[in-house]
Amino acid sequence: MPTISEKILAEKSGEKKVEPGKIIEVEVDYVMVNDVTGLPAFEVFEKFRTKPKREKIILIPDHYVPNKDIASAEQARAMREFAQKYEIKNYFEVGRGGVCHQLMIEEGFVAPGRLIAGADSHTCSYGALGSFATGIGSTEAAAIMATGKLWFRVPETQKFIVEGKLNRYVMGKDIILHIIGNIGVDGSLYKAMEFYGSTISGLSLSDRITISNMTIEAGGKTGIIPPDKRVFNYLKGRVRGNYREVYSDPDAIYSEKFEYNAEDIVPTVAKPSLPENTAPASELGNIEIDQAYLGSCTNGRIEDLRIAAEILKGKKIKEGVRMIVVPASKRIFEQAMEEGLIKIFMNADAYVSGPTCGACLGGYMGVLAKDEICISSTNRNFIGRMGHKDSKVYLANPAVVAASAITGRITDPNELE
């Protein structure tokens, strides 16, 4: 009867069975912090006056990489010094890593059946590989560093089923925006979201990560996709340690079930200033843009760069529009160079950067001025998210971002054919 989340939480708590609503203490496999959330975590950790659980700790500078000012440089130095002081091996210095969530997956920390906590809300991305992964605060991260454990309230689980063949230029981003548009930004508040159906099983791992990544935008505690051969093949030669895949029972109890037809999903855009404020890209063609942003933990993988490059090849970004392309990791950047994608972007007059979260969080590398409009492949479009409080962010998939950069207005890529 239990769901994937309930099984993982039961195993990590040492109990045979756990029920939704129960408070439990669990053994955490890994805890991750970045350069922004790390400093407060380190300060709290020191109060424990104990040695850290070094093998469980992953330190990834990525939000202000490279450092944009003195304050961010101090944050980065605090992480560097903590890693040196306690001999933390899993520290990924600037130039050797990438955006934290992509790196966690690439480096083999994520695997089915694991319980992973991260001091960043989009840690739920790892559910795409069948793990229970969720964002926590810096104080909670410090507790895991010191004890290896943390308490959780067992969430209820919702089941989302998507069946059918996707339309052209429809990606994982459109699926999750379609769902959030349906249930709202609080539709899965503190619930585990499980995804099933022929559409989901046919998706690339990249698109699955995008879906799990944005479950937090529906209020979800975690977003899990049952692991299959695509996941197992990806993990061969990559995963650290052993793992055991976990699946929901056939008669598992879900708080709610939602069913969707893939044919009803089109290239979708989330209008300001909530991810639930969705509309077809084809209906927003009158909205002119100032910036197009391709990257982030949501859509900065090689598959995302490929579809954008396919659309941009032989074309130019419209005059008066700027496009920023940010591969999510060093490996992805290198692969994009090998495949000639970076050259395509540069020939189109896009600006290409090394991996960083800077623009997504409105820190730097693409901050918006007053009244500017950005079409972005990121995950949040809250007021002031990417810059001035009077700027506007429209969320979309990489194909829509690329097409819009060419026309200078929000564009369904099917329109270009």
Q: What is the pLDDT of residue 394?
A: 98
Asked whether the beta carbons of 79 and 94 are under 8 A apart, the reply is: no
- The answer for 237, left when phi > 0, alpha when psi is -120 to 50, beta otherwise, is left
Q: How far apart are CA 45 and CA 41, in angstroms?
A: 6
User: Cα separations (Å) of 415 from 169, 216, 393, 409, 412?
Assistant: 11, 31, 22, 12, 6
Burial 47-78 (b: 16+ CB within 10 A, else e): eeeeebbeebbbbbbbbbbebeeeebeebbeb
Q: CA nearest 226: which of 239, 211, 240, 241? A: 211
| pLDDT per residue of the chain (417 residues) written in tens, 0 to 9 | 899 999 999 999 999 999 999 999 999 999 999 999 999 999 999 999 999 999 999 999 999 999 999 999 999 999 999 999 999 999 999 999 999 999 999 999 999 999 999 999 999 999 999 999 999 999 999 999 999 999 999 999 999 999 999 999 999 999 999 999 999 999 999 999 999 999 999 999 999 999 999 999 999 999 999 999 999 999 999 999 999 999 999 999 999 999 999 999 999 999 999 999 999 999 999 999 999 999 999 999 999 999 999 999 999 999 999 999 999 999 999 999 999 999 999 999 999 999 999 999 999 999 999 999 999 999 999 999 999 999 999 999 999 999 999 999 999 999 997
For the chain, the domains span 23-153, 155-240+252-266, 268-411
CATH topology for the 23-153 domain: Aconitase; domain 3 (3.30.499)
Q: Look at the chain and count its residues.
A: 417
Its pTM stands at 0.97
Q: How far apart are CA 391 and CA 387, in angstroms?
A: 7
CATH topology for the 268-411 domain: Aconitase; domain 3 (3.30.499)
Going by their DSSP bridges, the two strands 291-295 and 373-376 should be labelled as parallel
DSSP H or E stretch at residue 210: helix 205-213
Q: What are phi and psi of 198, to 5 degrees?
A: -60, -35
Q: How far apart are CA 116 and CA 120, in angstroms?
A: 12
Asked whether the beta carbons of 37 and 83 are under 8 A apart, the reply is: no
Q: How far apart are CA 166 and CA 43, in angstroms?
A: 48
Domain formed by 155-240+252-266, architecture: 2-Layer Sandwich (3.30)
- Torsion angle in degrees (nearest 10) through CA of 285, 213, 181, 386: -50
Residues 6 or more apart whose CB falls under 8 angstroms from that of 55 comprise none
SS3 211: helix
What does the DSSP 8-state code read for residue 288? B
155-240+252-266 and 268-411 share one fold: yes
User: Cα separations (Å) of 81 from 35, 44, 120, 277?
Assistant: 12, 15, 21, 43
